[in-house]
Structure 1
Amino acid sequence: MQVIGFCRFSYPAEGGFQVAHSSLQERMAYLYAPDRMEERFRHFECLCLPGLRAQTDPDFLFAILVGDAMPTRWLERLAALVEGFPQAVIVSRPPGPHRQVCQDVINSLREPGQPCLQFRHDDDDAVAVDFVQDLRQAARDVAPLLDRHRLVGFDWNRGYIGRPDAKGICAELQVTPYWGVAQAIAARPGARQTIMNFAHNKLNQFMPTVTFTDKAMYLRGHNDHNDSRQKKHIKPVALPRLDAEAEAELKARFAIDADHVRQVFA
């Protein structure tokens, strides 16, 4: 079954942000600000890409949506980071309605007449190296459910919240259902709605879902430019610093190299 991952990399959508902007120009100025972009690239390089590159099942596509007005310096840097990652496809689109544009991009990559597994992924998050393998196995395990329903959701709810910095990684294991990372859907042939048509925390309101809690499947990046952390009265999250043993566990599970993190964030 085809597997498509989808990532928005500073795409200036109409809607889709918890932070409001008065105009498209203001949104692009916010998205492409040098300080913000530097942070996005560091997280993308150190957290997001390693686990995807190391997937035990490499048979998937990873679509990266960017705006057609992304400055050349950032676009070239993004292309350089995914060089040698054959699953990655950078897709450029003009600003448009968030859900519609995301839906169109995902559907443009689908194999006609075939079912499809789709997962959403932010540029500062990580999935475990066996995520695609487990997603495909989960779809096989619930094949009768997929036969009966146009869309079926999958959610791995055990994972880490983590913050990288110049000293390494601060992280803590936790369980949060429908958090939007290590989350996927199975879409039947002809189904036009995609995983990006639904709020991640409301997925189970629109389709049957299957949840898994047996092992850590994600690391959700925590940083100053998280969209969900831009509102007032957001409390900081205190995270313990990982020791060498815990760093090794994180590397085995997510291919995240703490030494590389220290180098990039120094």
Structure 2
Amino acid sequence: MQREIVGVCRFSFLGRGDWKIFNNLPPESEEEVIQSLREKLFDEERLEHRFGTFETLTLPGLNAQSDRDFLFIALTSDELPEKYLDRLLKLSARYQFLEVVRMPVMRSPHAVGEAYKKFGLELDSIIQFRLDDDDTVSCHYISRLREACSTMVCDPAHRPFAVTFPNALIYGPVVSPDGATETKLMRRFVPHTGAGQAICHNKRNILQWAHNRVDRQLVSFSDPSVWVLQSYFAENDTGALTPFRIKQQKIEEIPQKQQERIIQENFPFLVAT
């Protein structure tokens, strides 16, 4: 039996998750932080930026997949302003793989579980992956993920495992100490990046794992043959690029010819645009 591949994305989702604002946050402070987040989450300028990356990076990358047999769930808040909900639903109508699920305030892992129930998905019969609304994956991602799971002999009850794609293109404006910016495309090797990370597990969903700690608890398959793309902006949780951060995270420049080859082989939709 071929397992269904299911991706999860949080698009202006209101609830506790693995974002920096919730790191080490005591439960008694959660309501106050949620209220603060509510005010920022639905800001029009922020939403326009999120739609910009979702519509030009995330969805085109998924739409370019050589293996189109997958489901992608966008979790959003039931407080999302109506005009933006309409915009999201129009995207769902345009892309056959995309389903939008509105949720009240709750923790991210619980929201994923509720969404799976909505579509009749069982953890022991699916392969799960995560992707942010400002990142994307190679056009061969789904195909390679399916091959990786076949190689690992997917048995979530007795041998749960994770699959990661460590070669990441890093895209965004680099902010210099004097405040000047220059948009760059660079590369970084990230053993357990959250972009496109997948798991096969019969008891826990993809957001019940801290992506950078999965390798401590699960057997992992790392596939460097295809790339993921991560955007770095001041407006997202990843944050803006600075010379210090580039050095600290070992982000490297890419020779122009190699850059062109990586894009052509993995992100052809970027060439088309």
> What is the TM-score normalised by the length of structure 2?
0.81
Q: Which residue of 2 aligns with 1:217?
A: 227
Where in structure 2 are the equivalents of 1:37-116 lying within 5 Å? 37-112=47-122, 115-116=125-126
Q: Give 1:240 deviation, angstroms.
A: 5.8
Q: Which residue of 1 aligns with 2:15?
A: 13
**Could you list the per-position Cα deviations for residues 176-214 of structure 1 after superposition, in whole angstroms to 9, with x for gaps in the alignment?**
111101210113xxx23111100000011222111122x
Q: Which residue of 2 aligns with 1:263?
A: none
Residue 157 (str. 1) matches residue 157 (str. 2): no
Q: Give 1:249 deviation, angstroms.
A: 4.5
Q: Give the RMSD, CA atoms, in angstroms.
A: 3.0
1:87 maps to amino acid: F
CA gap 1:171/1:149 in 2 versus in 1, 3 angstroms: farther
Q: Which residue of 2 aligns with 1:264?
A: none
Q: Contact between 2:58 and 2:133, CA under 8 Å: does it hold in 1? A: yes
Q: Contact between 1:56 and 1:133, CA under 8 Å: does it hold in 2? A: yes
**Could you list the per-position Cα deviations for residues 23-81 of structure 1 after superposition, in whole angstroms to 9, with x for gaps in the alignment?**
43321111111121111111111111111011111110000000001001111122223
Q: Which residue of 2 aligns with 1:250?
A: 263
2:64 maps to amino acid: A
Q: Secondary structure at the match of 1:46?
A: helix
Q: Which stretches of structure 1, 4 residues or more, deviate above 6 A after TM superposition?
A: none
**The 10-residue stretch of structure 1 (85-94 or 12-21) with the greater mean CA deviation from structure 2:** 12-21
CA gap 1:18/1:138 in 2 versus in 1, 3 angstroms: same
Aligned equivalents of 1:79, 1:247: Cα separation in 2: 34
Aligned equivalents of 2:52, 2:4: Cα separation in 1: 29
Percent identity reads 25
Q: Contact between 2:17 and 2:108, CA under 8 Å: does it hold in 1? A: yes
Q: Contact between 1:6 and 1:64, CA under 8 Å: does it hold in 2? A: yes
User: 5+ unaligned residues in a row in structure 2: which ranges?
Assistant: 23-29, 175-181
Number of aligned residues: 252
Aligned equivalents of 1:247, 1:200: Cα separation in 2: 29
Residue 184 (str. 1) matches residue 198 (str. 2): yes
Aligned equivalents of 1:244, 1:75: Cα separation in 2: 41
> What is the TM-score normalised by the length of structure 1?
0.83
**Could you list the per-position Cα deviations for residues 221-251 of structure 1 after superposition, in whole angstroms to 9, with x for gaps in the alignment?**
1111221328xx9955488699698457425
